[in-house]
Amino acid sequence: HSLKYFYTASSEVPNFPEFVVVGMVDGAQMVHYDSNSQRMVPKQDWMNKAAETLPQYWESQTGNCKGQQQTFKANIDIVNQRFNQSGGVHTFQLMYGCELGDDGITRGDFQLGYDGADFLSLDKSTLTWTAANQKAVITKLKWDATGAEANFQKNYLENTCIEWLKKYVNYGKDTLER
């Protein structure tokens, strides 16, 4: 089973929200958030079970997304400055998630992209960041300096993400295990 999230922040893209989050379990979209609606919403009926077991689920998820929206907007501005780019169409993307194999083996990924190209990725074994190009080196060095972000993401991918994956698979077992 797998749990993946895709975040896309964009600037000056006509008829497209500035920020979009899509969550997927086993390749099926389960949640959606965008800066136009400002709400995290279920995309599978079985996701309503999350609110039954955790009454604040949707409010909490919406709050998280609103916070990420602000962070990603700032990140686009920072990267644009770093790359000496002014206006125009730009995207900043994050893809992260975890997998739980039938054998109990877990995997996790955390990757950032800018304007459709790889930017940074987490190496969980060394707890360092891999810069995909010279422009990403500044961020890599900042994040490697404390190790806090790498440790946080590793813990999330190996623990929190797997816990949520198990919950979501349980909620949607009738649909997902067909």
* Per-residue confidence (pLDDT) for residue 86, from 0 to 100: 78
DSSP code per residue over 108-126: EEEEEEETTEEEEEEETTT
Residue 28 Cα to chain centre, angstroms:
16
Average pLDDT, the chain: 94
| Predicted TM-score of the model (pTM) | 0.94
Write down the CATH number for the domain with range 2-176. Answer: 3.30.500.10
Task: pLDDT band for 39, please (50, 70, 90 cuts).
Answer: very high
Task: pLDDT band for 57, please (50, 70, 90 cuts).
Answer: very high
Which one is predicted more confidently, 108 or 54?
Answer: 108
95: part of which helix (H) or strand (E)?
Answer: strand 90-100
* Per-residue confidence (pLDDT) for residue 88, from 0 to 100: 86
For residue 121, give both structure tokens.
């990725």
Task: pLDDT band for 135, please (50, 70, 90 cuts).
Answer: confident
Phi/psi of residue 6, each to 5°?
-130, 120
Task: pLDDT band for 136, please (50, 70, 90 cuts).
Answer: very high
Task: pLDDT band for 22, please (50, 70, 90 cuts).
Answer: very high
What does each C-alpha distance from 68 to 9, 38, 75 come to in angstroms?
Answer: 10, 12, 10
